[in-house]
């Protein structure tokens, strides 16, 4: 997937610089954290100084990837100078300045080289070097290919990190982005000692009782429209308070209605505060939905996308539903 010239250009920059800041999108997932840890492992192998600085804390189920607690949660007063001291920025699993928040502003205002490795659709030049292939199952898959082509021995914590990337972004190898190449990479990671059962357990089987209570409430309140082809539900601040949870506990919820017979599109509205709503869209594959997320300032993949809408929940729901209903009725 990656050309030899791209490998050469990126590795030339990595080897010729010394102080790196790695970062990813707000609310990082397994692909984001795994990609950061894998690239950090390679750069330290080269003898580089590496800092991982994120806007958001690492979710509990991915903390096993950061056993030494090296990921810094950005605080402008404490970490601005640290951020600005880098001589190269590596942006992973995101090519959208809005989802990089305050860290993105620091990077944009800097004149030092910037590299982005991502697998989300864009139609513009993001930074100096963009290694962006939408057909990759995950950013981790691209990093695997890059590390393999530069001759880095992928093993240990780097292998665990990359397996986590692939496992989580393919929905445990069940999403349409799973290819023969994806399975080949997973196989090679298992061959070097990755314990698939252990990683699955750490990622998916450490849920709190409160999270399960919230999930139960969400499932009991699913709405069906368009002859059952559309299923949607809402997570409100009141629900979070009642279940003693937060939006951090909702990973994977958007996928649930898609598993229901007859449902083609699932939609989750998450009330982050009185004037901000997270919209998560999922499709079984018969409807392309990323362009709808783009209409609301978001983006993503053809069959999995999302957006942060600066509006209240009451006004946001009918606007998004109208777009989905129009899509279904036109196809």
User: pLDDT of 87-120, one tens digit each?
Assistant: 999 999 999 998 999 999 999 999 999 999 999 9
Q: Where are the beta strands (DSSP E) in 176-248?
A: 223-225, 230-235
Q: What is the pLDDT of residue 131?
A: 97
Which DSSP string do the residues of 69-130 spell out, in sequence order? --PEEP-HHHHHHHHHT-SEEEEES---GGGGHHHHHHHHT--S-EEEEE-S--SS--SSEE
Q: What is the pLDDT of residue 331?
A: 61
155 and 248 assigned to the same domain:
no
Q: What is the pLDDT of residue 51?
A: 98
Q: What is the pLDDT of residue 61?
A: 93
Strands 276-283 and 265-273: antiparallel
182 and 219 assigned to the same domain:
no
167 and 185 assigned to the same domain:
yes
pLDDT tens track of the chain, all 331 residues? 899 999 999 999 999 999 999 999 998 999 999 999 999 999 999 999 999 999 999 999 999 999 999 999 999 999 999 999 999 999 999 999 989 999 999 999 999 999 999 999 888 999 999 999 999 999 999 999 999 999 999 999 999 999 999 999 999 999 889 999 999 999 999 999 999 999 999 999 999 999 999 999 999 999 999 999 999 999 999 999 999 999 889 988 999 999 999 999 999 999 999 999 999 999 999 999 999 999 999 888 899 999 999 999 999 999 999 999 999 987 6
* CATH (domain of 282): 3.10.310.30
140 and 89 assigned to the same domain:
yes
* CATH (domain of 51): 3.90.1640.10
226 and 285 assigned to the same domain:
yes
Nearest to residue 94, comparing CAs of 75, 118, 123, 63?
Answer: 118
82 and 62 assigned to the same domain:
yes
> Which of residues 163, 184, 204 is at a domain's end?
204
22 and 89 assigned to the same domain:
yes
Query: Could you list the residue range(s) of the whole structural domain that residue 136 is in?
Result: 4-204
Structurally, the chain folds into a number of domains equal to 2
168 and 258 assigned to the same domain:
no
Burial 137-166 (b: 16+ CB within 10 A, else e): bbbbbbbbbbbeeeebebeebbbbbbbbbb
Q: What is the pLDDT of residue 122?
A: 86
| First-last CA distance in the chain | 32
> Which of residues 174, 204, 234 is at a domain's end?
204
304 and 237 assigned to the same domain:
yes
270 and 317 assigned to the same domain:
yes
What is the reported pTM?
A: 0.91
55 and 199 assigned to the same domain:
yes
> Which of residues 204, 225, 242 is at a domain's end?
204
87 and 117 assigned to the same domain:
yes
């Amino acid at each position: 997937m990656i050309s030899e010239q791209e490998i050469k250009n990126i590795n030339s920059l990595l080897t010729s610089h010394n102080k790196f800041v790695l970062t990813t999108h707000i609310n990082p997932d397994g692909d984001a954290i795994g990609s950061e840890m894998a690239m950090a492992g390679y750069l330290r192998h080269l003898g580089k100084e590496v800092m991982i600085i994120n806007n958001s804390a690492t979710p509990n189920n991915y903390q096993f990837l950061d056993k030494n607690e090296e990921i810094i949660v950005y605080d402008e007063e404490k970490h601005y100078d640290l951020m600005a001291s880098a001589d190269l920025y590596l942006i992973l699993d995101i090519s959208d300045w809005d989802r990089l928040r305050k860290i993105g502003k620091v990077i944009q205002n800097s004149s030092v080289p910037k590299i982005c490795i991502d697998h989300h659709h864009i139609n513009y030049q993001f930074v100096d070097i963009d290694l962006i292939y939408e057909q990759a199952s995950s950013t981790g898959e691209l990093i695997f290919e890059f590390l393999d082509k530069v001759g880095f021995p992928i093993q240990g914590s780097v292998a665990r990190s990359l397996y986590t990337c692939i496992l989580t972004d393919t929905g445990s190898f069940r999403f349409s982005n799973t290819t023969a190449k994806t399975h080949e990479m997973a196989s090679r990671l298992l061959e070097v000692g990755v314990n698939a059962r252990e990683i699955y357990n750490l990622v998916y089987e450490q849920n709190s009782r409160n999270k399960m209570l919230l999930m139960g409430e969400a499932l009991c309140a699913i709405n069906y429209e368009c002859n059952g082809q559309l299923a949607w539900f809402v997570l409100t601040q009141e629900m979070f308070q009642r279940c003693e949870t937060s939006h951090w506990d909702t990973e994977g919820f958007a996928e649930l209605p898609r598993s229901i017979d007859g449902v083609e599109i699932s939609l989750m509205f998450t009330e982050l505060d009185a004037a901000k709503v997270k919209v998560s869209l999922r499709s079984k594959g018969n409807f392309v939905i990323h362009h709808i997320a783009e209409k609301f300032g978001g983006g993503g993949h053809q069959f999995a996308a999302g957006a942060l809408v600066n509006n209240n929940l009451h006004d946001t729901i009918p606007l998004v539903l109208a777009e989905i209903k129009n899509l279904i009725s036109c196809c």
